[in-house]
Structure 1
Amino acid sequence: MSDDTRDVVAELLRRMAEGDHDRTSELFAEPVDWGLAWPAEGHPAVPWIRPRSGRADVADHFRSLEAHHVPELNGTSVRWILVDGAHAVVLGEIRQTVRDGGAAYTSPFALHLTVQDGLVTRFHIYEDSLTVARAFTRS
């Protein structure tokens, strides 16, 4: 199962990097256990940070993320991918630039994924969401 997990995670990261939102969402189970909801009540400056539940929500997440950033200036990098059975942890750094105003920000991230039957069933990302929100409120 570790090889299957590693392959799905690699494909997920490849599709995310290519900006292929519909194909990216095809790798997610219905429903998906989504964990990127700070602040839980939402914040108008960061509309993509909210609860999600299925493939259409996943595609919308990545579209919204792209709509608010300059994709050509994305410097997000992956440092490690750790796999244990169905679980994977991706560690890296997010480097983005706000589309409106040009504020740049950097945040370390950890992404906990679970893969079952070739699909991502858990997507929990941990980042410095306060830094992200501040970049959008000062831009």
Structure 2
Amino acid sequence: MATDTQTSRTVAGEFLERLGRQDPGGIQEPFAEEIDWHVPGSDALAWTGRRTRREEVAPYFTTMWPHFAHGRSEVVLERVIVDGGDVMLLAVFTHTVVATGKEFTTPAAMHLVVEDGRIACTRTR
């Protein structure tokens, strides 16, 4: 079933709001029970790889967040592009690594696919 643009925008907004609060309990709420989510990166980083179930969403974030200095991360959301069930989030992430104290900045593109009012697929680049 096709998802309308407004529903997709609302679902993406809920996800971003919970992400901004670092709400591990609520962060997975907008996701479908079964998901197709791939986070590319080094095998040395525990938060990279594939996830297929809603209950894998919160552990992704709770595994990643402690590696970045609390209160020293910034996410600049540059664009949100919505077309039906497709949502593109274009952002720039800046974090400070706890272990080294070094700051890094990286551009990111996240493609969310919203189906039946839930995030069913996520791709990060």
TM-score interval, smaller chain: over 0.9
The reply to whether residue 123 of structure 1 matches residue 122 of structure 2 is yes
Q: Name the SS of the counterpart of 1:71 in structure 2.
A: coil
Counterpart residue number, 1:82: 81
Gaps of 5+ in 1: 127-139
Counterpart residue number, 2:35: 32
Counterpart residue number, 2:53: 54
Distance (Å, rounded) in 2 between the aligned partners of 1:22 and 1:50? 21
The reply to whether residue 17 of structure 1 matches residue 16 of structure 2 is no
TM-score by length of 1: 0.84
Distance (Å, rounded) in 1 between the aligned partners of 2:70 and 2:92? 15
Q: Which amino acid aligns with 1:124?
A: R
Structure having the higher helix fraction is: 1
The question of whether the paired residues in 1 share the 8 Å contact of 2:80 and 2:87 is answered with yes
* More relative contact order, 1 or 2 (CA 8 Å, 6+ apart): 2
Gaps of 5+ in 2: none
Deviation at 1:89, TM superposition (A): 0.2
Q: Name the SS of the counterpart of 1:51 in structure 2.
A: strand
Structure having the higher strand fraction is: 2
Please list the CA deviations of residues 73-122 of structure 1 after superposition, one character each: whole Å capped at 9, or x if unmatched: 01111000000000000001010111122111100000000111111001
Distance (Å, rounded) in 1 between the aligned partners of 2:91 and 2:40? 19
Deviation at 1:123, TM superposition (A): 1.1
Distance (Å, rounded) in 2 between the aligned partners of 1:53 and 1:104? 31
